[in-house]
Amino acid sequence: MTSTTPTTTRHGLHLADVTLTYGDGESTVTALDAVSLDVEPGELLAVVGPSGSGKSSLLAVAGGLIPPTSGRVSVGGTDLTSVSSRRLAELRRTHIGFVFQSGNLVPALTAIDQLRLPLHLGRVDDPRDPVALLEEVGMTHRADRRPDKLSGGERQRIGIARALVTRPRLLLVDEPTAALDRHRSQEIVALLAREAHDHGVATVMVTHDHDVLHHCDRVLQMTDGTLTSASV
């Protein structure tokens, strides 16, 4: 088991001895190998490592998209491995925010409507104001633009804002700078750090971009499904 300084996290992310395997017998592949991890509210954690090391599997399990083979996953104090599928879908919608490489925006919606969409999909107890959030990420002047009229960096800003509009406990970010130049990459990760710190969101970012790691509170290395502290 790999321990990464577990704490008494109650409202962030907690993984306890999480293992994820695919296949069986001689074809079994271990994507996550007894991983234990805590990410505190307000912390930006970066996970680095080569392709195929388990980083995407970590995000999928942490976000409740894939159940672990064994172990426990908790977000905001709720054990994702013990709730019904209906409750899990509700938790993903209200407590967990996802930011994808391309922003993953809806082509037909304007920037402001991208932020309104999660609020129409179900009850959100205390949402952030979409207009104010759009201003916070510096995109008010693009409020009426659809994704095809936005740059890569602008789409990422909208994707981040959309993920935050429900006030999630956990934000999971997959390679946010993969398609951006160095300047835009710095802006995007600085924005993630600011949102995590200012609003108490436990944030996990998977990245290959070592130039942005100085914005992060902690950096872990993933190798063959295990996590260890990284020297950067």
Greater pLDDT, 200 or 27: 200
Nearest in space to 101 (alpha carbons), one of 65, 54, 153: 153
Mean local confidence (pLDDT), 21-36? 89
Provide, rounded to the nearest whole percent, the portion of the chain with pLDDT above 70.
94
In the prediction, which pLDDT does 24 show? 80
pLDDT tens-digit profile of 98-121? Answer: 998 767 899 999 999 999 998 888
Per the CB < 8 A criterion, the answer to whether 204 and 59 are in contact is yes
Tokens 């924005």 label which residue? 191
Across the chain, mean pLDDT equals 90
In the prediction, which pLDDT does 150 show? 93
In the prediction, which pLDDT does 231 show? 66
Residue 40 has pLDDT above 80, yes or no: yes
Neighbours of 26 (CB within 10 A): 5
Q: Where are any strands of DSSP class E within 28-138? A: 29-39, 44-48, 70-75, 78-79, 96-99
In the prediction, which pLDDT does 20 show? 97
In the prediction, which pLDDT does 173 show? 96
Residues 199, 41: Cα–Cα separation, whole Å: 8
- Model-level pTM? 0.89
In the prediction, which pLDDT does 8 show? 40
In the prediction, which pLDDT does 178 show? 86
Given strand 44-48, what is the order of strands in its sheet? Answer: 96-99, 170-174, 202-206, 44-48, 218-223, 226-229
pLDDT tens-digit profile of 173-232? Answer: 999 988 888 998 999 999 999 999 999 999 999 999 999 999 999 999 999 999 998 766
**Domain residue spans of the chain:** 41-64+82-229
Nearest in space to 13 (alpha carbons), one of 98, 84, 80, 85: 80
CATH of domain 41-64+82-229: 3.40.50.300
Helix (H) or strand (E) holding 188: helix 182-199
Residues 126, 129: Cα–Cα separation, whole Å: 9
